[in-house]
Structure 1
Amino acid sequence: MEVLLEGIVGSVGGVVARSVAYPFDTLKVQLATGSIGLGDLVKRILREEGVLGFYRGLLPFSAFEAAYQKGLFVLVFTAVKRLYAQRARRDPAVLATVCFGYLSDLVSVPFTVPFEALVVRLQSASVHDSKMDIIRESLCTRAGIRRALVSGNAYFVLSLKPGIEFAIFDHLKYKTLKSSGRTDLSSGTALLLGGSARAIATICVYPYARCKALTQSQQAPSALAALQKVLSDEGGLALYRGLSMEICRGATQSAVMFAVIERLRSAVEALVLGQANGRS
């Protein structure tokens, strides 16, 4: 039951965080798949679509994908960590936690990558493109599903990011609570630790993340092909185009997510403890 509650808490945290950081996500995708600068991109979106252009694809697809993916990830990640702790009679080390996070993320990929690929196509499409045609082709045709699953091969590398992120957060959380003598993190501390963990994890895998975005926007047949194309046409530094926006987006999203998760977890624990005391 506790593991299921962790999954629900992760799902809620994922949706709230995705909603807060979504404009950064839209800018990151269009910077990674386009050739214009940030200032010109912001002006173009405001001119053609207004403020709502920054939220294209959020409802219902991206919000659903965030809830489903993060809930499943947190559920599996928590279950594996607890199983390890029971068998080994100690908490997992940082490297083991990275491996657990990596495997937990891979479990969710086949179920969530079609929606993620759809959102990337909606974000990178021209304002004049038919959104219904993109949705139909992405989710209702074999070719669309096949392309999404092919782009999902990139997660054999990219799933390291949540593994690194959650391992760093858990390690920093443990050190912080140990030094402060507290039993839970404040919202501000969770924001800081979550954002820091995400920034470090993002820097580690960003070049491949950009190549995955190029694949999902149908500018390359695979992440590896996109990597080779960017290196040959634009050089190594081009692999980091959009990195600053991704760090802003990712750090904001993870900071909010971890803060929400920590607050909800504390509230649930207090509720359960209160009910237990009431029975006794």
Structure 2
Amino acid sequence: MSGGVAQLKHEGSQRQVAVAGGVAGLVSRFVIAPLDVVKIRLQLQIHSLSDPLSVRSIDGPVYKGTLGTLKHILREEGLTGLWKGNIPAEALYLAYGSVQFSAYTYVSHLLDTVPQPYTIPSSANSFVSGAVAGAFATTATYPLDLLRTRFAAQGRDRVYASIFASVRHIAEHEGPSGFFRGLGAGVSQIVPYMGLFFASYEGLKPLLANSAIPLPFGTSDAAAGIVASVLSKTAVYPLDTTRKRLQVQGPMRSRYVHRNIPMYTGVVSTLSNIWKHEGRRGLYRGLTVSLLKAAPASAVTMWTYERAMAAMLALNDKEA
């Protein structure tokens, strides 16, 4: 078992792991909020900039790249437009971070108790633990993710007046299942993503810790988080686009900033529809900003998690 696996799994109590994960999620969300809004807007844009016919009679903005989208939102909606959906997103990241790290350490400990000859390698332990933790955290916090997407998809005209109003409207007009639109794509995405992320992170961390090359953000934690996140995010990105398209389905679909979002019904049909009408680029629209977002987000998350855990352990030592 690598030193990185042992360090992440065995330091701190379950409560400390949950607190450190929650703090890491909050800090990470605050840092990358504007990029998250830009990514969602690009993912929901179905018209192609290379096809002039696709933007005819479009009632809504036509975004051109990450920087162009950023400038457009600032010009049309002001600085606060870049933080739309931040309240449910902060709640999402707080809950997700706590559940994710708690589930990861719990499953890791559970797998460590498997007797010989059924034990699995440390890399497989990290993959399975990360996949299970991601699936559990995604399902538990999915309604917050859906609300984050719907608020980020709003333009100058407000679709929902408040968080409470959005919850009430979805409950009344879409029922309980309305809060879980696109969950299949979310779980299908997060299982391989988190499995690959944690396996890559645990494998890269001890290697980068001994590297003679200057590391991003100055630490092996951050560097390992960046590389692991970029690799994992690229592999599963089409499912992320599918999830976003499904999350804005419902009776308010035509009132978001992109008025022409098609009607989708399921994961497979959405993937095939995007591929048929928008091509491969449609599946990867917003990937650049997603990678720009994912790298610092994961770096900040892992760096903050390690520092928060170290602070709590140091506090315990002083009290002892």
1:154/1:212 contact within 8 Å kept: yes
Q: CA RMSD in A?
A: 2.3
**Distance change in 2, residues 1:240/1:2 (3 Å):** same
Secondary structure of 1:235's match? helix
Question: How far apart, in 1, do the equivalents of 2:26 and 2:121 lie?
Answer: 28
Aligned match of 1:183: none
Which of 19, 27, 32 is 1:21 aligned to? Answer: 32
Tell me how far 1:166 sits from its aligned partner: 1.7
**Distance change in 2, residues 1:57/1:79 (3 Å):** same
Which of 254, 265, 268 is 1:221 aligned to? Answer: 265
Letter in 2 for 1:75: S
Which residues in structure 2 correspond to 1:1-280 (within 5 Å)? 2-34=13-45, 35=47, 36-38=63-65, 39-59=67-87, 61-88=88-115, 92-132=121-161, 135-136=166-167, 140-141=171-172, 143=174, 145-159=176-190, 160-177=192-209, 179=210, 188-218=219-249, 219=261, 220-276=264-320
Once the two structures are overlaid, the 10-residue window that deviates more, 45-54 or 23-32, is: 45-54
The unaligned stretches of length 5 or more in structure 2 are 1-11, 48-62, 212-216, 250-260
2:77/2:155 contact within 8 Å kept: no
1:84/1:92 contact within 8 Å kept: no
Letter in 2 for 1:82: H
Tell me how far 1:225 sits from its aligned partner: 2.1
1:117/1:216 contact within 8 Å kept: yes
2:108/2:125 contact within 8 Å kept: no
Query: For residues 72-98 of structure 1, what are the alpha-carbon distances to aligned partners after superposition, in whole Å with 9 as ceiling and x for unaligned?
Result: 010011111122224458885223321
Once the two structures are overlaid, the 10-residue window that deviates more, 198-207 or 266-275, is: 266-275
Once the two structures are overlaid, the 10-residue window that deviates more, 111-120 or 21-30, is: 111-120
Aligned match of 2:258: none
1:56/1:123 contact within 8 Å kept: yes
The unaligned stretches of length 5 or more in structure 1 are 181-185
Tell me how far 1:270 sits from its aligned partner: 2.2
Query: For residues 119-172 of structure 1, what are the alpha-carbon distances to aligned partners after superposition, in whole Å with 9 as ceiling and x for unaligned?
Result: 101111222133327724565436154133231111331122122112211121
2:111/2:125 contact within 8 Å kept: no
Letter in 2 for 1:115: L
TM-score (norm 1): 0.87
Q: Kindly indicate which of the two structures has a greater share of residues assigned to helix.
A: 1
Identity %: 23
Once the two structures are overlaid, the 10-residue window that deviates more, 14-23 or 93-102, is: 93-102
**Distance change in 2, residues 1:193/1:67 (3 Å):** same
TM-score (norm 2): 0.77
The aligned length equals: 269
